[in-house]
Structure 1
Amino acid sequence: MSTVLIVEDEPAIADTLLYALRSEGYQAQHCALGRQALQLLRESAFDVVVLDVGLPDLGGFEVCRELRRFSEVPVIFLTARNDEIDRVLGLELGADDYVTKPFSPREMVARVRARLRRSGGAEEGGWAQRGDFAIDREGRRIRYRDAALELTRYEFALLAALLQRPGAILSRAQLMDRGWDSDSDSADRTVDTHIKTLRAKLRVAGADPDPIRTHRGLGYSLEA
């Protein structure tokens, strides 16, 4: 059963979302503060986060920025603001979707379902299926069409980040933030080097065409 964390300080909205999601068979949990959400996300596994931008203690943008330091869980921003600059900022910080208040609970459930369909799959024995890929995060293993990929630490980190958000374009800076130590002095070209070796290993495993796409001036995405 998929689990959804709702981070919303307005009780009426939170209750509506909890009811709508639970009625559709999801496990839904609620908290009202950004710092509490980060603690929950560090301690427990969630499949989707519905995150309000205007939280009283720590803004949703800051929560998302901190969350992306340790997790690739899909994030749907919920906000009363509809300014384009806010939507762009939220997506650049690593959000996957953006819903403006007032909204239909049915629409939110549909968006949660869509996020789960894109980022998830059936999990069995620690393995999560992502199209032709299967990933075991705890065991730091990835298979392509049942062929085990012999990956270095950085190759695993890069591919795992891309698999968490299929189709999303991740910049080199975002990939470095997920795959390298915080004190690393690696340059952006290091990401390109590891992507090159990763592509070579995928070709050996039978990946044709190349599932990793280069977006000039933007970064990389993966078609799982």
Structure 2
Amino acid sequence: MRLLLVEDDDHVAAALVAVLGRHGFQVRHARSGSEALDALVPDGAGPYRVVLLDLGLPDRDGFEVCGRIRDRSRVPVIMVTARADTRSRIHGLNLGADDYVTKPYDTGELLARIHAVVRRWPAPPQDGRPQAAPATAPPGDPEPLAARGIDLDRKRRRVTVAGREVPLTRKEFDLLALLAQHPGVVYRREQIFSEVWRSGWEGNGRTLEVHIASLRSKLGLPTLVETVRGVGYRVVAEPPDEDAPAAGSGR
């Protein structure tokens, strides 16, 4: 299993490479953002299953590197950084990072998080081209959001509203796909974080709020995802009466 480690501190990298090697990973170490991006070009050695990305790189900020990775690949990215503030965590997740681990970290926990994201994403073909993410529900199931004009294509990971494709980040799509499985059912915050972020809810409340707000804004349907105060969120599949076109209105 190949892993790309992006870390400018050689001492930190050497220790981590040794640990990962003992657990069956083939690690390539990149010391800069440019080197990391170059390493993602298919080289015949097989695709990477995960990227461990430090944010404090010598040539460019790790957030920029994450954005560039996400533009070209769906390889899972785990940010491993000393930046522990909530704003950085939210920004990283919004850019498409699959997880965010702060230094100093427990090596056992880091390994568990690596295996968690690897389980979620099947191995891409050997030419390095990414596969579509696994669907959160069988693709043959009827789409429950048709009344809202939403087509949620889980296989291709595409969302359209009234025929207009809406670009969503990976986490936004996963969040919508989870809530849409059972419209009207309230998903607790803890459950959402466990299934979408594969991490605990404690201390991550603002991250979920940001993603919910972004979904409402991008879809143009502020009443689609309802907040159940003190519990969690649910999808409202049927539009409210006030949103329905009035008879004879010409709308």
- Fold agreement, TM-score > 0.5: yes
- When residues 129 and 52 of structure 1 are mapped into structure 2, their CA distance, relative to the original with a 3 A threshold, is closer
Bigger CA radius of gyration: 2
- Counting matched residue pairs gives 161
TM-score, with structure 1 as normaliser: 0.59
- When residues 75 and 124 of structure 1 are mapped into structure 2, their CA distance, relative to the original with a 3 A threshold, is closer
2:191 alignment counterpart: none
1:94 alignment counterpart: 96
- When residues 188 and 20 of structure 1 are mapped into structure 2, their CA distance, relative to the original with a 3 A threshold, is farther
- When residues 121 and 15 of structure 1 are mapped into structure 2, their CA distance, relative to the original with a 3 A threshold, is same
> 1:15 Cα shift?
1.2
Q: Per the alignment, in what secondary structure is the counterpart of residue 105 of structure 2?
A: coil
> 1:127 Cα shift?
10
Percent of aligned positions that are identical? 36
Equivalent residues of 1:76, 1:99 under 8 A apart: yes
Task: Structure 1 unaligned segments of length 5 or more: list them.
Answer: 134-142, 146-154, 163-169, 176-186, 193-209, 220-224
- When residues 144 and 4 of structure 1 are mapped into structure 2, their CA distance, relative to the original with a 3 A threshold, is same
1:149 alignment counterpart: none
1:103 aligns with 2:102: no
Structure 2: distance between partners of 1:116 and 1:85: 26
Q: 5 Å matches for 1:120-199?
A: 120=122, 159-160=155-156, 162=157, 190-191=164-165
**Cα-to-partner distance string for 1:80-137 (whole Å, 9 max, x where unaligned):** 111000000000011010111111222211111001011225979999796579xxxx
Structure 1: distance between partners of 2:64 and 2:130: 31
- When residues 100 and 144 of structure 1 are mapped into structure 2, their CA distance, relative to the original with a 3 A threshold, is same
- When residues 189 and 64 of structure 1 are mapped into structure 2, their CA distance, relative to the original with a 3 A threshold, is farther
- When residues 52 and 159 of structure 1 are mapped into structure 2, their CA distance, relative to the original with a 3 A threshold, is same
Instruction: Indicate the RMSD between aligned Cα atoms, in angstroms.
Output: 4.0
**Cα-to-partner distance string for 1:154-200 (whole Å, 9 max, x where unaligned):** x9x9844x3xxxxxxx9x7xx9xxxxxxxxxxx996215xxxxxxxx
- When residues 130 and 69 of structure 1 are mapped into structure 2, their CA distance, relative to the original with a 3 A threshold, is closer
1:76 is aligned, of 67, 75, 78, to: 78
